[in-house]
Amino acid sequence: MSYRDVTVHTGNDHETESLSDSGQALGFVEEAIEVSAEEEGSRADVVLSDRLGLSRSFVQRLIKEGAVSCTLKSSMKPSYKVRSGEVLAVKIPPPRPSDIVPEPVDFSVVYEDDQIVVVNKPAGVVVHPSPGHWRGTLVHGLLHRFPDIGSINDVIRPGIVHRLDGTTSGLMVVARNSKSLISLQESFQRRKVDKIYLAMAYGRPIVEKITVNAPIGRDDKNRYRMAVIFDGKEACTDIQPLWNRSPYSFVSCKLHTGRTHQIRVHMRHLGAPLLGDSLYGFKVKKRGLPEDMLNNRVFLHAWKLTIPHPSTGVDISFRSVLPKDLIYPLREILSSKGGLH
């Protein structure tokens, strides 16, 4: 048996979907890791590297700098042999790309050239390392398939200029060199990028096009959640109904800004939270409904992406079809067996 306890320290309370700021790194994180019986007698740097998914050189540096302590020893060396049951306390600063161990990750490549890569991210894959997700992120997979991306900049998100939530699937563009990174950052900042999502809402029927202009900021009642607040950051979303079968509405959402959880927040604001989005008010009232097919994901998919190419400035567009885990509940809703009214 083993456990991990995580504490996060960050000053970034309003991270937007577009990660174009120069300071992209997270704040430091404190982890408490209990040594298992199977790990007894192993080197401390080996155990921490394996449990955290970080390179041994990075872990060794943390130990030498005094960022690691344990219950049985006030100071330690990387070669310290750990004992079952003792707890290793680690203060982790944001790792650099060179500190992240590349590994295969499940995602497909829609397009690539020597400037950019456009990927189709499945739901369940987190974009970059974060508390509870030190391994198996999109960044790990990108560094495995495109090692050159790791040389772009000394931050935790090499080449990443925008992101998708872990429960969201669909298209993302990644820069392959510094020049392309700067160009893409400017395109996002100047709102030259078009992003359209497909979503399924539950509740208030969406029967006509709605433009939601409602500022977004951190929810005072739940700091894991964002909310529409009067002093938040500007946020604008166009919501277009594709079809409606009360209480379900299948919609497309075009973002004009890139706030954290923007579509999810604006749909909740309308009284139509996204299917499966328990964080923003969706509740399953009966078992066996289409939403049970989602397997703990949100019905939100990044469908279309249009960007000016960093080299030519010419717009290029991409589409991603709905994944199977969204097609199944969609078919159930459309079928006569879906229990619709």
Q: What is the pLDDT along the chain (341 residues), one digit of tens a residue?
A: 444 444 434 433 333 343 333 233 345 677 888 888 888 899 998 888 888 777 788 888 889 888 888 887 767 899 999 998 899 888 877 656 566 788 999 999 999 999 999 999 999 999 887 766 778 899 999 999 998 887 775 455 678 889 899 999 999 999 998 899 999 999 999 999 999 999 999 999 999 999 999 999 999 888 889 999 999 999 999 999 999 888 899 999 999 999 999 999 999 999 999 999 988 987 765 555 777 778 779 999 999 999 999 999 999 999 999 999 999 889 888 885 444 33
Helix (H, G, I), strand (E, B) or coil at 98: helix
Question: Cβ(298)–Cβ(168) under 8 Å?
Answer: yes
List the domain boundaries for the chain: 4-96, 108-338
- Rounded Cα gap, residues 13 and 167, in angstroms: 20
Helix (H, G, I), strand (E, B) or coil at 157: coil
Handedness of CA 69, 71, 75, 81 (dihedral sign): negative
CATH classification for the domain delimited by 108-338, as one of 3.40.50.720, 3.30.2350.10, 2.40.30.10, 3.40.50.970 = 3.30.2350.10
Q: Which residues pair with 245 in a beta bridge?
A: 248
Q: Which of 134, 117, 100, 111 shows the shortest CA–CA distance to 8?
A: 134
Alpha-carbon 231 to chain mean position: 25
- Rounded Cα gap, residues 201 and 268, in angstroms: 9
Burial class (CB within 10 angstroms; exposed 0-12, middle 13-18, buried 19+) of 95: buried
> Annotated active-site positions, please?
165
CATH classification for the domain delimited by 4-96, as one of 3.10.290.10, 1.10.1740.10, 3.40.1010.10, 3.30.300.30 = 3.10.290.10
Handedness of CA 319, 320, 326, 331 (dihedral sign): positive
